[in-house]
A = this chain, B = another copy of it.
């Protein structure tokens, strides 16, 4: 469907409402809520065509709007991608909360948090790339200072680390362990997709088994060594 829009540039797809669950909603303003529609369009392109296809013009096309329209809602392309990324971080945070809740012991919670992080990134690789890029040049990590993300993500990990007792109970040690956890999860998340590991993955019975096996070697996430 978006294929057609790409091939036949003249005929633009009909503007999509912010939520297409109610088809009867006639867009109340020029477009409705374009900034939201653009973020959704961005995610759609990310999922269907990957990060290389995520141009500002493509997003505008997908949203059924002219290439310059986004500039009335975002300073530039980076700011639009930041919005897409922020949604991703919020979903990842929710996934971590869920993983922690599902575990029966604090130590197991750490493992599940790691697996949840990596699996989210692997399930949405293009989105995760955007998320990482956006986090790169931010002065604070995702989840710090954003009221709608309070109690998810970063703080969850720190709490779980304290509960699991993976490091001395001391603010600095806890911070270092939390950073180590994030770094490690990020590294595994980015490299789990390497084709080099395909053989090992299937030998271990799938990607999640592979991820668990790797994470078990990693200290913060792994089972306590005897």
Interface residue? A183 (CB, 8 A): yes
A206-226 CB contacts (< 8 Å) to partner B: 213-220, 222, 225
Q: Within the complex, what minimum Cβ distance (angstroms) separates A168 from chain B?
A: 11
Number of copies: 2
Scoring A190, A191, A192, A225 by chain B CB atoms within 10 A of each residue's CB, the highest score goes to A191
Q: A144-B196, A196-B144 are in contact. Are A180 and B138 (CB under 8 A)?
A: no
| A100-120 vs B, Cβ < 8 Å mask (1 yes, 0 no) | 000000000000000000000
A122-158 CB contacts (< 8 Å) to partner B: 132, 135-141, 144
Contact status B183-A188, CB under 8 Å: yes
A182-201 CB contacts (< 8 Å) to partner B: 182-188, 190-197, 200
Number of interface residues of A (CB under 8 A): 42
Q: A138-B196, A141-B194, A176-B214 are in contact. List 20 more A-B contacts (CB 8 A).
A: A135-B194, A138-B194, A138-B195, A140-B196, A167-B217, A175-B200, A179-B191, A179-B197, A179-B200, A179-B217, A180-B215, A181-B217, A183-B184, A183-B187, A183-B214, A184-B184, A186-B187, A217-B219, A218-B220, A219-B225
A: residues with CB less than 8 A from B are 132, 135-141, 144, 167, 175-177, 179-188, 190-197, 200, 213-220, 222, 225
